[in-house]
Amino acid sequence: MGMCIDVLIVDWDHLMSVPVDQHYAELYEAADSVDEEWWGAGLDQPPSTGPQWFWPSPPAVGWFGKFDFGDVGYSYKDHFWAGERWEEIRSFVEPGLRSAVDRFIDPLFWGGLEYMSDRDAGAPLLMSGDESSAPSDHLLWCRPDAVSSLKRLWDFVGPELSLLRSPFVQHSRAGFGRINDFDTFVGLLRGWGDVIDRAELRGWGVVGLRC
């Protein structure tokens, strides 16, 4: 069985004001609260099939938002297979774009992508020296400074995603595993870009929780 991932953008000052040993509980309760509101809306609530945002109601307003990737991306299997697809096509992508995509999608994969241990000299690091890995109970942990680095990458990568279509069609192993078409692959990346856009706009960080 795989696991699912809850992705939240969070006010880092608020999160850091909570004792470290209570971070996960605080974040889990936040994610769960908007889930309960969604289910509480009843049968009139539209089904969650595409990417969407959930924002808390009072009194919790102001310090977090939850992103739902929709049918593709809620499961960590989707993130794994997106990484597999990227590994299949990356050598056929122009080096500048390849390097940017490498660094933009790396945080989506628990432990990072294997080939990211050999980073290009001078490439921006997404983690500070004192935060080389996420806390053990998190799948994703990006402080606001890491989000700013990711935003710069997304500003470059986002407009160039169409250039990945030909390598994907020609070299991905479509039909094996998940993420078997280009639009689905790019849709997951665009969802991640939306997360980074909204977090950076607020000066917030991003966390991912097992759910």
The residue-averaged pLDDT of 24-49 equals: 69
**What percent of the chain is modeled with pLDDT above 70?**
77
Phi, psi of 47 (to 5 degrees): -65, 150
User: Does the pLDDT at position 198 exceed 90?
Assistant: yes
pTM: predicted TM-score of the whole model, two decimal places? 0.84
> In what helix (H) or strand (E) does residue 144 lie, and over which residues does it extend?
helix 144-157
Q: What are the CA-CA distances from residue 114 to residues 111, 118, 188 (Å)?
A: 8, 9, 20
Answer yes or no: is pLDDT of 52 > 50.
yes
Q: How far is the C-alpha of 104 from the C-alpha of 108, rounded, in Å?
A: 8
pLDDT above 90 as % of the chain: 51
137-193: per-residue pLDDT in tens?
A: 677 889 999 999 999 999 999 999 999 999 999 999 877 778 889 999 999 999 999
Q: Give CA–CA dist 116/137, Å, rounded.
A: 22
* Chain mean pLDDT for the chain: 82
Backbone region of residue 203 per phi and psi (left: phi > 0; alpha: psi in -120 to 50; beta: other values)? left
> pLDDT (tens digit, 9 = 90+) per residue, 90-142?
999 999 999 999 999 988 875 555 555 444 434 444 443 334 345 666 778 89
Among 158, 139, 170, 162, CA closest to 101: 158
Q: Give, in order, the Cα–Cα distances in Å from 19 to each of 14, 30, 171.
A: 11, 16, 48
Residue 196: per-residue pLDDT:
97
Q: Report DSSP state, residue 92.
A: G
59 secondary structure, DSSP code: T
Q: Which long-range contacts (CB under 8 A, 24 or more apart) does 67-71 make?
A: 67/7, 67/8, 67/9, 67/191, 67/194, 67/195, 67/198, 69/7, 69/188, 69/191, 70/191
- Paired tokens of 142: 């990006």
> In this structure, which amino acid lies at residue 11?
D
